[in-house]
Amino acid sequence: MDSGQHAEPRKRSIFRSILSLVIMVAFVFGLSWALRTFVFQPYEIPSGSMEATIMTGDMVFSEKVSYYLRDPEPGDIVTFQDPEIPGRVLIKRCIAVGGQTVDLIDGRVVVDGVALNEPYTHGLPSEPLKTALGTEFSYPYTIPAGHLWVMGDNRTNSQDSRYFGAIEENTVTGRGLLIYWPLNNFGLLG
């Protein structure tokens, strides 16, 4: 029997195994890219602006599917492109949408004349902030169409729309869905 006859099938078998491995790795990377691009994105929270809802160092999943079907709504926790630092993503709570009017009265947030019930702030006052230009927004403030007013739950430690103004709705990257790490903070966001 010729040893060359056995070598040829063995070469084909090795080639098929390598090709299968390459295809599987490409599929896994492609699926991972598609999931991160169109379905969800993990983030580590770098600051205390959303405490005690989300703590510094928590790992959060932001899902993207719901905003293919509907627009962000007041109460949603949204991730969005930082209007000041390109490439950085922030997470805050949507307080008002385009056409609504926000006012800050005696430490309370008032939207369209109704004071919000905000148990997630733990009673911290919502006061105006100096903007990046050192001025304050004039309240009441009407949110332009296609924009959102966002604020951190930790109102005394959050640079938010009181600081940088309403954000463009098209900068929203997803809806904060779940704290997945550390396990003692595991849970849905709302």
Which of these, 63, 50, 54, 86, lies nearest to 171 by C-alpha position?
A: 86
What are residue 187's DSSP bridge partners?
A: 179
| Residue found under tokens 């809802």 | 53
Asked if 89 and 82 count as a contact pair (C-beta separation under 8 A), the reply is: yes
Q: How far is CA 27 from the centre of its chain?
A: 26
Which of 49, 126, 158, 161 is labelled catalytic?
A: 49
Active site includes 130? Answer: no
Which of these, 124, 162, 158, 126, lies nearest to 49 by C-alpha position?
A: 158
pLDDT of residue 31: 66
Local structure of residue 68 (DSSP, 8 states): H
pLDDT of residue 103: 95
Which of 92, 126, 158, 161 is labelled catalytic?
A: 92
Task: Note the CATH number of domain 41-188.
Answer: 2.10.109.10
Q: Identify whether 182 is preceded by a cis peptide bond (ω within 30 of 0).
A: yes
Residue ranges of the domains in the chain? 1-38, 41-188
Question: How far apart, in whole angstroms, are the C-alpha atoms of residue 169 and residue 42?
Answer: 20
Helix extents (H) in the chain? 3-38, 66-69, 161-164
Distance separating the N- and C-terminal Cα atoms of the chain: 72
Which of these, 145, 188, 190, lies nearest to 166 by C-alpha position?
A: 145
Asked if 95 and 155 count as a contact pair (C-beta separation under 8 A), the reply is: no
CA angle 125, 128, 129 (to 5 degrees): 110
Classify the phi-psi angles of 73: left when phi > 0, otherwise alpha if psi is within -120 to 50, otherwise beta.
beta
Residue ranges of the chain whose pLDDT lies below 70: 1-7, 30-31, 34-39
pTM of the model: 0.79
Active site includes 11? Answer: no
